[in-house]
Structure 1
Amino acid sequence: MGGCDGDGNVDQAGFGKPMPWIGVYIAAASLACAIAMAADTAAGFRYRQLWFPSRYFALNAMSLSVITVAVKLSVDLNTPMPRREEQLAKLSSSVLICTVMGNSMPSLGSMKNKELLSNVIALAILVITSFVNICIQLGSGAIFDFVMEHAFVMFLMLLLLVTLSFSSMMVPTSKRYLDIKYYEMHEPTLKDSLSRSCDDVFNKLKEDLLKYGMMAHSCNPQFIVARSVTCTASGALCLLSAVTLAQAMLRSYLASWTFKFDYCHGESDYQWSSMAILITQTIARRGNKSYKDEFKPEKYWIQQFIEIKERPFNLHIRSRRCRKLIHDSKNVVLDMLIRIQVGIVLGSKAVRLISILFMSPILLFCDLCSDLRKKFSPPEGSASKPDFSQYILHLEGEEELVHVMMRNKCDTIERWIEMGKNNQPKHLVQLLEETDPRGFPGVMDFDSDAVPPLDSAEPPNNWTLPIATLTSIAVAIPDIDPSARKRLLRGVREALMYVNIVEERLCAKQELMNARKAASIVFMGVDLFHKWLDVDLRKISLQVNTTKDVLEELACTAKDVFVKFKAVPTHGHLMESTSAWPVNVRAAHSMYRISETLLLDCESSDRDMSKRLFEKLSRMISDIIAACLTNLEHAIFIECSRSGIEGRTEKAWSAAILLGRTAEVMEILSQRELPCLGSDQLASIDEWRAMTSVP
C-alpha cells in the first residue's frame, strides 16, 4: 500500500523533505513584511513627516495572510528544532508579531467601522493562536532555550494586542470630531478665499493650499492614531521586544564562544532555511516618535464606550427582570472596559514619559545644534511665514503639538509646490506663447452655425473633443514641416493632462462622459498611430492633392459613420438622447462639423493654404486650451478642499504639485482678458461660445 513500508508501518522518511522549501517560503513572507515596513519608514523620512504612515504595510486581509505565513515557526508544535538559530528563529517570530502590531497601528485610522472591527478580530485570533502555541511548546520542551525571553515577549505581545484593540475604540470618535471641526473651518476659509481679490493668482492659491494643507494633514486619520499616546507607547514596546531579541542573540553567540556552550545534537527538518528566517525577521524592526502631554486621560478615549452605554437595548423580552438584568450587566461590562481603557491610556502616558526622559539629552543636543546653526547662518532676506496655527485641527490635550505640526506642514506643502515647479509642461507653455495672447477667438471659430446639422438634436460640446479633432485634422494636412507637427502633438499631449483635470473636477456631467471618452480614444489614435478612428491620416495626406480635398475626405468619412449608424433601425432609441451616442458616433459628429466649418473658409487655388490652415488650427487649439485652463484656479481649489477625511492629505499634496506645475501657464493666462462669466459658466465651453456670440 502506498505510504507504508514492508512491515505495513507508515513510511515517514520523505515527510520532512519539503520543510527547507517551506522555510524559504516563511523567509520570503518575512522579507515581504520587512520591505513593506521599510518602505513606510522611507516614505516618512522622504516627506519629512512626524510619523511613519502605513501605506504599504497596513492591517488588512492581505497583510494578515502574509504575517500568518511569516510567523509559522512560532506555531509549529512538533517539528524538532535543536540548534541555536532555530530557537532564535522561534523567538524572532514572536518579536515580529509585536513589531507588526506596533507598525500597523496607524492604519486603524483609515478604516471604516466594520472593516476596523473585522481586522482587529482577525489580528486577535492570530495573536492568541500564536500565544497558545508558544505556551504549548514551552510546556512540551519544543522551546527549551530563551524561556525568559519568550515569556517577556509573550507578555508584550498580549499588552500590544490589548492596547491596539482599545485604541481602535477611539478612532470613530476622533475622526467624527475632527471632521466636524474641518467643516466648521471650511466655510469661513472658503468665504475668505472668495472675498480676496488678488492679481497674483499663484500666491493666492498657495496661501489657500497652506490653509487647507494644515487642516487636511492635522485631521489625517492615520496621523490621529500615530500621534496618540497609545501608538507612542506601542512603539516603545516594539523597541523593547527588539532589544530582547538582540540581547538573546548576543548572549547565545557570546556563550558559545566564551564557555563552549553546545546546543542539542540533531538536525531540524527546516535545515539551512531556519537561518534565512532568523535574518529576515531580525531586520524588520522600527519605532515611533514621542511628544510630551498632560498625565490624564482625554474624554475621546472613552466616548465610544459612553455612547454604547447610553444606547438602549432593543430586546423583545417580555420579562421586566430579564431586561433589567441585561441592562445592568451591559453597564457593568462597559464600566469595566472604561476602567481598562483609562488604565491603558495612563500606562501609555507613563511609558511615553519614560521614553522622553531617556531621549531628552539627545533632543536637547539636537535643539542646541539647531540654535547654533541659526545663530551663525546668514539671515534670510525673505519675510517671515504667516501664522496658520488656527487651521491646525487637534484633539483635547494636543495643544503643544500645534506649532510643531504647523512648521512641518508649511514646509511640506512648499516642497510639493517646488517639486511641481521643477516639472512644468514646457511644450504646453511653448504652444500658448506662440499664439496671439489677445482674447480666445478660437473657442468660437472651430464650429460654425452655418454648417447644416446631421441630426435634429445637437450634443453639448466639451473641451477635450474639439482639441483632439482639431489635432487630427492638423496631422492630416499635407506639406507641413514634420517638426511643427511633432511640436503641436507634444503641446496637446501635455495640455490634455490638465484639461482632463479641469473636466473631471468641474464638468463631470453624465451627458459629457461619451464626449470625453471619444476625445481620449481619438487623441490616442492620432498620437500613437496617426489615425482618426480607423482612418490613416498620413495616407490621406499623401493621396489627396490639396488641403481642401483633405477636409472634404474627413468630412465625408465622418458623415458616413454617422449616417450608417443612424440608418440601423435598432439604433433609434440611442439617437433619442445625445448622451447615449456611441463613442465613434460622437467623434464622427465632431469631425464632420469642424471639417465643414473649416471648408467654409478654404480655397482650393490657394497654394499657401496648408500653412495658413495649420497655423489657424494651432491657434484654435491654443485658444481652446487657454480658455479651459483659466479654470485651473477653481480646479486646484476644489482639488484641495473637497474630499473625504481619508483622502484629504493626498488631495492637498496633488493640488500643491498641480499648482507648481502650472505656475508658468497661469502667468501666461493672466495676461488674457476673461469674459464676464461666473465660475460655473467659465467651466463650460458652450457658455463661452454663447457669451462670445452675443453682439
Structure 2
Amino acid sequence: MGKLGCGVDGVLNEAKFSEPLPWIGVYIAAASLACAVAMAADVIHGFRHWKLWFPCKFFTINATSLTIITVAVKLSVDLNTPMPRGQDQLAKLSSTALICTVMGNSMPSIGTMENKEILTNIIALGILVVTVVVNICIQLGTGVIFVFELEHAVIMFLMLVLLIVLSFSALTVPTIKHYLELKYKKKYEMAQKECSVANETNKSLEDKLREALMRYWMMAHTCSPQFVIGRSVTCTASGALCLLSAATLAEAMVRFYLMPGSFKFCKGDSDYKWSINLVLLTQAFAVGMGTIAPAMRWFLAINFRCPTRNKMKGKTTRGYKLEEYWIRILVEMKECPLNIPVHNRLCRRIAHDAKVKCLNLCIGIQAGIVFISKVIRLISVFIMSVILLSYDYFRDRLMKFTPDNSIGNDSGSELPHSSKLDLSRFVLHLEGEESLVELMMKDNRDATDYWRRKAKKRQPKYLMELLELSRPCEGFKGLTEFDSFKVPSLDTEEAPNCWSLSLVTLTGIAIAVPNIERCSMKRLIAGVNEGLVYVRNIEDMQGNMVNSRKAADVVWLGVELYHRWLDVDLRKLSLQGKNTNEILQVLSDSAKSIFMEFKKCNANLCLLDDPSKWPIKVLAANSMYRICQSILLDYEAKHYRMEEKLFEAITVMVSDILAACLTNLKQFITVKCSTTAIEEREKSVRHAAHVLGKTEAILKLLHKTPLPGLNPDKMIVMDEWRSFHKLNSTLYDTPSSELASPAPYDVYLTVD
C-alpha cells in the first residue's frame, strides 16, 4: 500500500507529496535567475555600446525563454499549495510582476522575427498570460491569495494591457520592414553616387572607406528593426507600464517590511519552506534588472520631448495623427477576399462581413493603443518636465561659478564638429519621426570612427611583418611559384585553387623543413593565423569554395595546434635526419596515396567529375601533392639545397599569396555594408569598421603600387590571378601607360 501513497492504515499520505516542493522552489529560483542574468547582460551590452534603447541580444521572446518564464512563474499558477506567510504572498506577487517585466523588456526583439515566428511566439505568450490571469483570479476567489489583492489586480491589468500593446505592435513589423527596405534602396543609391564622386578626389583609400562606412552605418543603424521598435511610441508606453508594475511590487515589499503590523497573516509554513525566500529574492532581482531597459527607453523619450530641452518647444502637443503604417496590414487584410471552401453565397457573405467587422474592431483598437500611448508619453512629459527643468536650472546656476575660460574650450571643441560629414540625409525614419532625425544623426555620427580607432589598437603585427616580404612590384610572383603549371594533375579534372588551403599547405611544408629556428617558425604560424581571419572573410564572397575552405580549416587545426598534416607528424618528419628532398617526397607520396585511394573507391561515381564535391581530405591531399611537386621541380633551379633558403622561399610565397588576397579588403568592406538582410546590416557594418581599423596599415602597404588590371569581382578568385599572370608573363616589363590598371586608391562600391 505504501507504493500507492497510502499509509498502513489506508489513509492517503499527503505529507509525502509535498516533500519535493522546496527543491521545486530552487528550480523556480534558478529559472528566475536565468531571466535576470539574461536581462542584465542586455543592460550591460547596452551601456557598453552606448545603445541606451537597449536592444535585446541575450533575452528575447522565443521558445527557450518562454519555457524558462513558464517555470519561473509557477507560483502564480499554483492553485492549491497553502501560502500562509507574508513572504509566500509576496512571492506570488513577484511572479506576476516578472511577466510584466519580461514583456516590457523584450518588446524590441519582435523586430528581428519573421512573420510566422512572431505569430507563434505571441500566441504562446498570450496563452501563458491568460493562464496566469485566470489562475490568479481563482486564487483570489479561493483565498490562496488573501493579501495584496489590490496590487495583484493592478499588475494583472498592466499585464493584459502590455500583452495587447505587444500583440498589436507586432502587427506593424512587416509593414515597417517593407517601408524601411524601400527607403534603404533609395539611400543606398545616393550613397553609391557620393562614393563614386569621392573616388575622383585626392583623398586616401582609408578616408574614402571611412566616409563610406559612416554613410552605411547611419543607414543600417537607423533602419535596424529593433531600434525602430525601441523608439516607437508603443515601446515608450510599455516602458512606463513596466515601470509601474515594478513600482507596485516595490510598494508591496516596502509596506510588508516597514509596516508589518498592517497585515494579518495565517499561522503555519508553506510547503515550499526555506526555498520561498530564495524565490522572492531572485524574482525581485529579476524584476529590478529587467525594468532598467524599459525605464531607460521611456526616460529618453521623455527627456527628448520635454519643453525647452533639446529645442523641442511646441512639439510636445503635436504628432497625434495616426500614422498609416500602424494599420496598413489590417486594412490590407480587410480588403482581401476571404478564401474559404464554402460555395453558398450567403454563408460567404456572412463570413466576409464578420471578417470586416472584426478587422474594423482591430483597427479601432490599434488606433486607440497608439493614441493612449501618445497620451501616456504626454502625461509623462508633464510630470517629468518639472524634475528635468529643475535640474537644468540648478545646473545653469552652478555653471556660473566655473572659470570663464571654459567657454573658450567649449567653442573650440565645436570647430571640428562643424567640419564633419553631414549624414542627416542618410537617417532612415518613419512618418512622424522627423523630429528625431537630428538626434539620431548626432548620437551615431562618430560610431564608426570609435570602432575603427578601437580596432586600430589591435593591429595584426605578425601579419604586417609577413606582408612586408611580399613583392607587389613583381606582381606577387608567389601566386605562380607555389603551384607550377607544369605539374601533371592527379585527375582529368583539377580542383580550383583556394587562398586559405594553399596558405595552410605551404605553412605545413615549412614546418616540416629541418634545421629552422623555432622563433622563425612561430612568427610564420602567427602571421598566417592572423591573416586567415581576413582570408576567410574574403573567401566568403565566393560561393563555390565551401569544401576547400572546410579542408583548409581542418588542415590548419592540425598544423597550428599539433604540427600535423592530416595523419603525418611534420615535426617528427623534420627530425628524422632526412634531407629536404626526401621530406617533400614523403609528403607528396602521402597525399597521392590518399587521392588514389579515393579515386579507386569512387571510380564509378560522378563525384570525380566535380572537384568542388571532393571530400575535404581529398582536396587537402590534392593541394599538398601539387605544391610539393612544384617545389621539387624547382628544387635544383632555385638552389633550394639549403634548408634556410627553402624556408625563406616558402615564406615569401605565403606572403605573396596573403598580400594578393588582402588586396580585396576594400571590396570585402563594401560587400559587408551592402548585405541584404535588414536584421544583419548593423552588425555587418560594425564588423566592416573593425576590419578597416585593424587593416589600415595593410591597405596602405598593399596599395603603394598599382594593382593588376583585373575586374574587382575577379580579384577575389585565386585562379583569376594565376591565369592573368600566365597570359601576361611580361606584364610588369611593359610601360605603365599600357597597363589597364585601376588607380591604387580606387574604391569599388558597386555591388550586385
Using structure 1 for the length normalisation, give the TM-score: 0.94
Q: Is the 8 A contact 2:59 2:65 kept in 1?
A: yes
After TM superposition, the structure 1 = structure 2 runs for residues 304-343 of structure 1, keeping only pairs within 5 Å, are 304-343=329-368
Q: 1:405 aligns with which of 419, 440, 450?
A: 440
Q: Which residue of 2 aligns with 1:202?
A: 206
Give 4+ residue runs of structure 1 displaced > 4 Å after superposition: 259-262, 361-374, 604-608
Taking a change above 3 Å as real, the CA distance of residues 376 and 130 of structure 1, as seen in their structure-2 partners, is: farther
Amino acid aligned to 1:145: V
Taking a change above 3 Å as real, the CA distance of residues 584 and 139 of structure 1, as seen in their structure-2 partners, is: closer
Deviations 1:152-182 (A, max 9, x none): 1111111111111111111111111111211
Q: CA separation in 1, counterparts of 2:208 and 2:673?
A: 14
Q: 1:9 aligns with which of 8, 11, 15?
A: 11
Q: Please report how far the alpha carbon of residue 580 of structure 1 lies from its aligned counterpart in structure 2 after TM superposition.
A: 2.7
Q: Which residue of 1 aligns with 2:695?
A: 662
Matched, 1:395 2:397: no
Taking a change above 3 Å as real, the CA distance of residues 194 and 563 of structure 1, as seen in their structure-2 partners, is: farther
Question: Which moves more between the two structures, 580-589 or 209-218?
Answer: 580-589
Q: CA separation in 1, counterparts of 2:589 and 2:79?
A: 78
Question: Which moves more between the two structures, 191-200 or 64-73?
Answer: 191-200
Q: Which residue of 1 aligns with 2:486?
A: 450
Q: Please report how far the alpha carbon of residue 194 of structure 1 lies from its aligned counterpart in structure 2 after TM superposition.
A: 4.2
Question: Which moves more between the two structures, 557-566 or 617-626?
Answer: 557-566
Q: Which residue of 1 aligns with 2:747?
A: none
Amino acid aligned to 2:496: P
Deviations 1:617-656 (A, max 9, x none): 1111001100000000001111121131111111111111
Q: CA separation in 1, counterparts of 2:183 and 2:89?
A: 52
Q: Which residue of 1 aligns with 2:371?
A: 346
Q: Please report how far the alpha carbon of residue 250 of structure 1 lies from its aligned counterpart in structure 2 after TM superposition.
A: 1.2
Q: Which residue of 2 aligns with 1:460?
A: 496
Q: CA separation in 1, counterparts of 2:222 and 2:350?
A: 44
Q: Which residue of 2 aligns with 1:215?
A: 219
Secondary structure of the corresponding residue to residue 259 of structure 2:
helix
Taking a change above 3 Å as real, the CA distance of residues 460 and 89 of structure 1, as seen in their structure-2 partners, is: same
Q: Please report how far the alpha carbon of residue 568 of structure 1 lies from its aligned counterpart in structure 2 after TM superposition.
A: 4.1
Q: 2:166 aligns with which of 161, 164, 167?
A: 164
Q: 2:651 aligns with which of 613, 618, 633?
A: 618
After TM superposition, the structure 1 = structure 2 runs for residues 438-587 of structure 1, keeping only pairs within 5 Å, are 438=473, 439-505=475-541, 507-509=542-544, 512-568=545-601, 570=603, 573-587=606-620
Taking a change above 3 Å as real, the CA distance of residues 160 and 514 of structure 1, as seen in their structure-2 partners, is: closer
Taking a change above 3 Å as real, the CA distance of residues 574 and 316 of structure 1, as seen in their structure-2 partners, is: closer
Secondary structure of the corresponding residue to residue 295 of structure 1:
coil
Q: Is the 8 A contact 1:48 1:408 kept in 2?
A: no
Q: Which residue of 2 aligns with 1:289?
A: 297
Q: Which residue of 2 aligns with 1:106?
A: 108
Q: Please report how far the alpha carbon of residue 500 of structure 1 lies from its aligned counterpart in structure 2 after TM superposition.
A: 0.8
Matched, 1:650 2:654: no
Q: CA separation in 2, counterparts of 1:169 and 1:564?
A: 58
Q: CA separation in 1, counterparts of 2:242 and 2:330?
A: 27
Q: Which residue of 1 aligns with 2:421?
A: 386
Q: Please report how far the alpha carbon of residue 544 of structure 1 lies from its aligned counterpart in structure 2 after TM superposition.
A: 4.2
Amino acid aligned to 1:299: E
Q: Which residue of 2 aligns with 1:685?
A: 718
Deviations 1:401-424 (A, max 9, x none): 111211222233222222221222
Taking a change above 3 Å as real, the CA distance of residues 20 and 437 of structure 1, as seen in their structure-2 partners, is: same
Q: Please report how far the alpha carbon of residue 503 of structure 1 lies from its aligned counterpart in structure 2 after TM superposition.
A: 0.4
Q: Which residue of 1 aligns with 2:450?
A: 415
Amino acid aligned to 1:188: M
Q: Which residue of 2 aligns with 1:264?
A: 266
Matched, 1:298 2:331: no
Question: Which moves more between the two structures, 235-244 or 367-376?
Answer: 367-376
Q: CA separation in 2, counterparts of 1:406 and 1:526?
A: 48
Q: Is the 8 A contact 1:544 1:550 kept in 2?
A: no
Q: 2:244 aligns with which of 240, 243, 247?
A: 240
Among all aligned residue pairs of Structure 1 and Structure 2, give the percentage whose two residues are the same amino acid: 51
Secondary structure of the corresponding residue to residue 642 of structure 1:
coil
Amino acid aligned to 1:325: I
Deviations 1:549-604 (A, max 9, x none): 32233233333333343344646533222223222222222222222222233249
Q: Is the 8 A contact 1:424 1:661 kept in 2?
A: yes
Secondary structure of the corresponding residue to residue 372 of structure 2:
helix
Taking a change above 3 Å as real, the CA distance of residues 362 and 40 of structure 1, as seen in their structure-2 partners, is: farther
Using structure 2 for the length normalisation, give the TM-score: 0.88
Taking a change above 3 Å as real, the CA distance of residues 332 and 134 of structure 1, as seen in their structure-2 partners, is: same
Q: Is the 8 A contact 1:50 1:289 kept in 2?
A: yes
Q: CA separation in 2, counterparts of 1:11 and 1:594?
A: 79
Amino acid aligned to 2:588: A
Q: Which residue of 1 aligns with 2:58?
A: 56
Q: Please report how far the alpha carbon of residue 362 of structure 1 lies from its aligned counterpart in structure 2 after TM superposition.
A: 5.0
Q: Please report how far the alpha carbon of residue 514 of structure 1 lies from its aligned counterpart in structure 2 after TM superposition.
A: 2.6
Taking a change above 3 Å as real, the CA distance of residues 321 and 249 of structure 1, as seen in their structure-2 partners, is: same
Deviations 1:240-297 (A, max 9, x none): 11111111111222222xx485522111111121121111111223124243461222
Q: Is the 8 A contact 2:171 2:329 kept in 1?
A: yes
Question: Which moves more between the two structures, 174-183 or 565-574?
Answer: 565-574
Q: CA separation in 1, counterparts of 2:556 and 2:32?
A: 46
Q: 1:142 aligns with which of 141, 144, 155?
A: 144
Q: Which residue of 2 aligns with 1:224?
A: 228
Matched, 1:628 2:657: no
Q: CA separation in 1, counterparts of 2:451 and 2:429?
A: 23
